[in-house]
Amino acid sequence: DIQMTQSPSSLSASVGDRVTITCRASQSISSYLNWYQQKPGKAPKLLIYAASSLQSGVSSRLSGSGSGTDFTLTISSLEPEDFATYYCQQTYSTPPTFGQGTKVEIK
Amino acid sequence: EVQLVESGGGLVQPGGSLRLSCAASGFTFSSYEMHWVRQAPGKGLEWLSYISSSGSSTYYSDSVKGRFTISRDNAKNSLYLQMNSLRVEDTAVYYCARMTYYSSGKCFNYWGQGTLVTVSS
């Protein structure tokens, strides 16, 4: 199975800050990398698919980049609704594994 | 509007069984592969199982292989997860999710709201 490692596991930031979350795959996954946001008590929500494609309806403050083994999710200017946990996921091969999550908290 | 609604969760004793259902609407269910994902309390997302659109192909994580069975009824627009030999560590919220293929990738773009399974004596 492909292992996905996110960093950091958590971060504290203020509204307006630029935030970057990284995700590393244990082997090359081309661009088969997705990002999800999850808020407490809610199902995950797709943000970005294929490493850099923004899901319809998702704010353009969010962006994704990378290919191969290293990927990033960037939030250009944090808004209150962005405080949540973020997960990367590879869909290059079955099983489609997730990273352990990055919790973005209010500083 | 695409909707996935899970049901069937609850409290069960270790060694017991439970069958989860996921009712799909708003799309052609028989055209999509479907997945189950779970999340233990305070933990991350764990992929469990997948079934092809026709139901002819299935795959399981090592953690549930031999204990859980995924199935679907395309005539009823429903996905199922039969869970046997349940363990305390199976306690989690269980989500069904739809896999969508794009030219550049594939992802879970629709999720159910989740159903809680608690395994405890």
Contact status of A6 with chain B (Cβ, < 8 Å) = no
Chain A positions in Cβ-Cβ contact with residue B116 (cut-off 8 Å): none
- Average pLDDT over all residues of chain B: 97
The per-residue pLDDT for B104 is 82
Residues A31-65: tens digit of each pLDDT: 999 999 999 999 999 999 999 999 999 999 999 99
Contact status of B27 with chain A (Cβ, < 8 Å) = no
The per-residue pLDDT for B43 is 97
CA distances from B55 to A34, B19, B35, B69, B82 (A): 25, 17, 12, 12, 15
Contact status of A20 with chain B (Cβ, < 8 Å) = no
Indicate if the alpha-carbon torsion angle A63, A88, A34, B9 is positive or negative: negative
Chain A positions in Cβ-Cβ contact with residue B45 (cut-off 8 Å): 36, 38, 44, 87, 89, 98, 101
The per-residue pLDDT for A21 is 98
Smallest Cα–Cα separation from A54: which of A28, A71, A73? Answer: A73
